[in-house]
Structure 1
Amino acid sequence: MKKKEFILDHYQIDDFFKPIRSKRDVIILLMKSIKLMLIGDITPIKEPSGHMYLIVSKMSRLFYVKKDKYFTIGFPFKVINNENRLEFYSSFNELKIDNQITSNVLALFPNKIFDLEIFFEDLYCQSESLRVLITSLITYEDGYIRYDCDPERKNGRLHPLNHYDLFYSSNTTFKLGLNKSLDIEKMIDCLSIETECHFIE
């Protein structure tokens, strides 16, 4: 499988485009994305608000797309297309990532203030396979990159209209200005290791 598209409604856009500030946010997004892909396109969305693309080739990434904003994270799972139904497996212990597993992972990262001590207590009570999965997700390289066209906060060369935001923690994030707008296919091409490199000039 090279590329699979999923249409997002405005509720999913609001959920998937919440700010990412930590690995916890990335893990939650991954689990919610897998839930969406497991369900598939059961009911057509009359007024799509955006798209999600799963691209698995020499790179493995999820791309999230809405007007004037795209972002991507690495996808750390093996993907099998079984009679047009996607199946996901951990690259670390071959655990099948189904709806139950995604729910178990999400339960460890509740939408409230994150308490590390409680997290490790809860993790200790899980099965060994789930502990291995969680540990691998905490340590995997997520490769977060976001493209913005941001007229509201445009500020010359300090905050260019069109730019990439690289990384998400306050200690490492930075912007890379662009001279023109960027479509999603250009961003995918830029990140692909199967096409020619792009240059910063």
Structure 2
Amino acid sequence: MKTAFQIEINIVSRAIFFPKERIKTKLQVVEILLEACRYILYNEKKENVKSDNKIIVQKNKMNRLFFVGDSKMYSIYFPFNLHYEDGIEIKINYKNLIDIDSYTISNLLSIIKNPAILSENCLDFLDPILDFENQDNYWSILRDLLFSEDGYIRYDKDEQGYKKAKNSNQEHHHPLHHLDIFYTNHVTFKLGLEKEIFEIELIDTLDRNTNCKYLKAFH
């Protein structure tokens, strides 16, 4: 299904999609993705939301979610299918086989939040999955979520970080406007930007059907 819409993020839910600490793990990305699915199911969808805090669902140009906040925004891959039931109510499913409803979302979240998933013993990892496996094929969904590329990219306008870097004469280590590529300490890096960008520009940058953006110079 090709579709695009926006949903305002209310004050209560902002902490879910914009945690105080930066995203550092795949489990955090999966949790945000699942919470976003719940939010999509139960909140008003519009063609355009004027709020500074919103989720943009893009299934016509790409399979991505964009989370837009006051001074930052980021995007991740959206691996599920969307379709309208009776032309009105939106549904989400996995490979047209399993509905991603509130019940499924809650069970998947309980699995990834279980401390056993971080155990060094693989058998401990299996326990929370087996609790639900007789009901639905959760392992199939969870495997894809954990092993697929999540396509994380974030735009940040970080005045505090830039000021701190500038005071140390290292402003080009932490530009005011920048893109963070990836999220773990081992591989993340920044691309400095000359000016502020908005969601329409980030969407266009990630759209493979539009012209590529060019890096003008390496400093």
Query: If the length of structure 2 is used for normalisation, what is the TM-score?
Result: 0.83
The SS at the match of 1:108 is: helix
Distance 1:119 1:13 in 2: 30
1:3 — aligned with what? Answer: 4
2:94 — aligned with what? Answer: 90
Residue 149 to residue 137, structure 1, CA distance change in 2 (3 Å): same
Q: CA deviation at 1:122?
A: 1.2
Instruction: Give me the CA root mean square deviation.
Output: 2.0
Structure 2 unaligned spans of 5+: 166-170
Q: Are the equivalent residues in 1 in contact too, given 2:4–2:57 (CA < 8 A)?
A: yes
Q: CA deviation at 1:194?
A: 1.6
Q: CA deviation at 1:58?
A: 4.2
| Higher strand content, 1 or 2 | 1
Q: Does 2:133 correspond to 1:124? A: no
CA offsets 1:3-42 (integer angstroms, 9 cap, x no match): 1100011221111112321111011111111111111229
Please give the residue correspondences for 1:4-19 in structure 2 after superposition, counting only pairs within 5 Å.
4-18=5-19, 19=22
Please give the residue correspondences for 1:43-192 in structure 2 after superposition, counting only pairs within 5 Å.
48=51, 50-82=53-85, 83-91=87-95, 94-110=97-113, 115-116=118-119, 117=121, 118-127=124-133, 129-154=137-162, 155=165, 156-192=171-207
Count of matched residue positions in the alignment of Structure 1 and Structure 2: 196
Q: Are the equivalent residues in 2 in contact too, given 1:9–1:49 (CA < 8 A)?
A: no
Q: Are the equivalent residues in 1 in contact too, given 2:116–2:125 (CA < 8 A)?
A: no
Structure 1 unaligned spans of 5+: none
Q: Are the equivalent residues in 2 in contact too, given 1:35–1:102 (CA < 8 A)?
A: yes
1:37 — aligned with what? Answer: 40
Kindly, what percent of the aligned residue pairs are identical? 28
